[in-house]
């Protein structure tokens, strides 16, 4: 008889998937091809890992729990197990076209997602299980309460679809929040170079830093010159009295470009 798997650890936010039907739905959604490399974050007890390994050429799995890592050693011949923290993993070293499939620990899901998106040039698509509330934020549209920094920055890098909800009964232990699986198809071309992208990201974060304030005031409080913001908004045809949640991704891209065209203090003579 094989030994019992180690118990879930609260400090790692472990909720192990136990439903084979959900596993099949996730693998079908990922549409893994025989030549592809898959990255799995938090393989846990391996229920999803085994199904992924059956489809992919290679599976790289990151597991922070050393006890769980022991039971995953030699689990599948094409499994490359990495013991460590997903927040410290060098995603830039992944093969191009990597597919990411993961049941993300809810307490780090947003942080891990941003790390993945930073290396989106190495990733073709992502299929992620996460807290339903976070999933809704990823796909949210302007003028909704869910729409925010996470929505804009995720949709800048990928097309987002909330695929299906997952009942708490599908996990052990059962989570106290709802779960959902999202599909993110990474955009093939980056819209901005690194320098302009950094300024775009700063703008989006600044805009949402004070949600109750109009955009001009929120950006001013985050260090932007009010005159420059007003001029840039005017060139974009965006009313100065609008709030951050009313602007679309295209609006933010246009505003970032218009602000880049504004003269900076050091260039004034």
Tell me the backbone φ, ψ of residue 86, rounded to 5 degrees.
-60, -25
| DSSP class of 78 | T
**Residue 171: predicted pLDDT:** 93
| DSSP class of 185 | E
Residue with tokens 């093939």, as numbered in its chain: 188
CA separation (Å) from 149 to 59, 215, 238? 31, 14, 19
**Residue 107: predicted pLDDT:** 83
CA distance 238 to 230: 9
**Which pLDDT tens digit goes with each residue over 78-108?**
999 999 999 999 999 999 999 999 999 888 9
pLDDT average per 10 residues of sequence, the chain (269 residues): 58 79 98 98 93 97 90 90 95 97 90 94 97 97 97 97 96 90 93 93 96 94 95 94 96 95 45
**Residue 106: predicted pLDDT:** 85
**Residue 73: predicted pLDDT:** 84
Structure tokens at 79: 């499994």
**Residue 264: predicted pLDDT:** 47
Structure tokens at 30: 């990922």
Are 221 and 199 in contact by the 8 Å Cβ rule? The answer is no
**Residue 10: predicted pLDDT:** 62
Are 126 and 40 in contact by the 8 Å Cβ rule? The answer is no
Q: Return contacts of 201-207, CB within 8 angstroms, 24+ apart.
A: 201/153, 203/252, 203/255, 203/256, 203/259, 204/149, 204/152, 204/153, 204/252, 205/149, 207/244, 207/247, 207/252
pTM of the model: 0.91
Are 42 and 99 in contact by the 8 Å Cβ rule? The answer is no
């Amino acid at each position: 008889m094989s030994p019992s798997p180690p118990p879930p650890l609260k400090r790692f936010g472990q909720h192990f998937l136990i439903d084979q039907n959900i596993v099949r739905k996730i693998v079908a959604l990922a549409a893994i091809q025989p030549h592809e490399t898959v990255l799995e974050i938090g393989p846990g007890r391996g229920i999803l890992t085994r199904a992924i390994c059956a489809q992919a050429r290679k599976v790289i799995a990151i597991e922070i729990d050393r006890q769980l890592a022991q039971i995953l050693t030699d689990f599948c011949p094409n499994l490359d197990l990495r013991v460590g923290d997903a927040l410290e993993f060098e995603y830039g070293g992944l093969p191009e076209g990597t597919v990411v499939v993961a049941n993300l620990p809810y307490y780090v899901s947003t942080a891990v997602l941003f790390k993945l998106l930073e290396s989106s040039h190495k990733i073709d698509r992502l299929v992620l299980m996460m807290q339903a509330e976070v999933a809704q934020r990823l796909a949210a549209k302007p003028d909704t309460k869910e729409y925010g920094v996470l929505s804009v920055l995720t949709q800048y890098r990928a097309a987002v679809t909330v695929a299906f909800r997952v009942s708490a009964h599908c996990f052990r232990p059962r989570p106290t929040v709802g779960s959902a699986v999202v599909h993110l198809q990474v955009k093939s071309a980056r819209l901005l170079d690194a320098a302009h992208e950094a300024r775009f990201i700063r703008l989006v974060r600044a805009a949402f830093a004070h949600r109750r304030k109009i955009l001009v005031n929120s950006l001013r409080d985050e260090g932007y010159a009010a005159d420059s913001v007003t001029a840039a908004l005017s060139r974009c045809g965006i009313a100065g009295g609008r709030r951050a949640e009313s602007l679309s991704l295209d609006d933010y891209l246009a505003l970032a470009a218009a602000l880049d065209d504004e003269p900076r203090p050091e260039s004034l003579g």
